[in-house]
Amino acid sequence: MKITGVETKIVNAIHRNWIFVKVLTDQPGLYGWGEATLEWKTRAVVGAVEDLAAFVIGEDPRRIEHLVRKMQMHSFWPLGVIGLSAISGIEMALHDIAAKDLGVPVWRLLGGQSRDWVRVYTHFQRGKIGAQVDPKDIESYVAGVEATVAMGYRAVKLGVVPYTHYDAPIPEVKHVARLVERIRLAVGDEIDIMFDFHGRCSSISAAVAYIDAISPMRPLFVEEPIQPGDNEAMALVASKVQAPLATGERLFTPREFFDLAAHKAVSIVQPDLCHVGGFTMGKKIAAIAEIGHMGVAPHNPLGPISGAAALHFAVATPNFVIQEEARGLVDWYDEVVQHPIVLENGHWAVPTSPGLGVELDEVAAAKHPFEPEVIPAREALSADGAILNW
């Protein structure tokens, strides 16, 4: 079996363009799908996929580890998140092909079934664009959280920390404390709540102030309280607070996660299969996390093929904790791709179809062609107009 071509299909999703990767083979009807979505870098990733295709065309698609190493090592230059996202899309498609060839779901290639269902969380109002509510409006925000839980979810992640800088103003901290207390009272103790700081705090002291305000409500984790990359600083934050910390959506290589594990900086790591190199590197990162006493909660606010990949990864990963999803992001999430994700009692069911179980409806996809993304990060300004972390 040989690879004959690598194609990209772009579907606009307002704040991002989904980048779907199709790997073709010389076997009639046998091809694979992957996803390489990277917010606000669409054309760069598509170009990287085109460049990397030269490394895999003519090769056996079932030699997955071999081809991943070829794309990485023969590229000479460190690839960074753009190149690794391109590899991820191709790599997922190779797993899709290999599993279809054997007539088994992808999770069987990843070590087999580790669990009977997959714990999942969503965002406020399932992440639906246009349904956001200002956290300053406590009544409306709490109502939105209750509505999200009523959709059938047992866990929700929220962004309640304001755009901040090196300090944590007392009124802002007190407001966050009041808001999260009301949320916990509204949903009860049976619903898991996570809080995403998005790395907005520019100092350890600011991060600690907001985490201390949230900790009494027993969050499952606090995500990215400071910018990623400084693991010594993250460990220092962890030593000063009571809530479990999580990070990893903006880390990309096993070496970065190894350093995170060595510092015992967080309880949860959040690799994104669309950015780290697909399943091949995702499994290595999960193994590093397990040795470092860390669970895995993969980052996944992207498209439906990414969601399918995350599902298979979760099924097969022993130290998996909970899976992010954003199926409500845009109305056409469930229209452009047939996918195996089934929500039952707040969990995802284990898929049984061969491969990833996904198929792009190219007619439906064509209704949402590439457009320049709406970039919400432009909102991240202080009162005096200084640029802040989004």
Structural contact between residues 199 and 227, judged by C-beta atoms closer than 8 angstroms: yes
Please confirm, yes or no, whether 66 is among the known catalytic residues. Answer: no
Q: Which residues pair with 343 in a beta bridge?
A: 348
Q: Which amino acid is at 165?
A: H
Compute the average pLDDT of residues 198-226: 98
* Separation CA 382–CA 168 (nearest Å): 12
User: Can you list the domains of the chain with their CATH numbers?
Assistant: 3-105 (3.30.390.10), 108-354 (3.20.20.120)
Written as six digits, the tokens of 107 are: 């999770």
Please confirm, yes or no, whether 198 is among the known catalytic residues. Answer: yes
Q: Is 329 exposed, middle or buried (0-12, 13-18, 19+ CB in 10 A)?
A: buried
Listed residue (227, 222, 301) closest to 266, CA to CA: 222
Q: At residue 327, does pLDDT exceed 90? A: no
- Please state the pTM of the whole predicted model: 0.96
Listed residue (131, 133, 145) closest to 14, CA to CA: 131
pLDDT confidence of residue 134: 95
Compute the average pLDDT of residues 117-129: 95
* Separation CA 210–CA 169 (nearest Å): 10
In degrees rounded to 5, what are phi and psi of residue 296? -120, 125
- Give 224's pLDDT tier (boundaries 50, 70, 90): very high
Identified catalytic residue from 95, 198, 312, 339: 198
Structural contact between residues 208 and 187, judged by C-beta atoms closer than 8 angstroms: no
SS3 281: helix
pLDDT confidence of residue 281: 98
Residue 376 DSSP label: G
Helix axes 138-150, 170-187, angle to 10 degrees: 30
Listed residue (130, 70, 76, 23) closest to 355, CA to CA: 23
pLDDT per residue over 26-66, tens digit each? 999 999 999 999 999 999 999 999 999 999 999 999 999 99
Helix axes 231-240, 254-262, angle to 10 degrees: 40
Identified catalytic residue from 299, 339, 347, 368: 299
Compute the average pLDDT of residues 281-301: 97
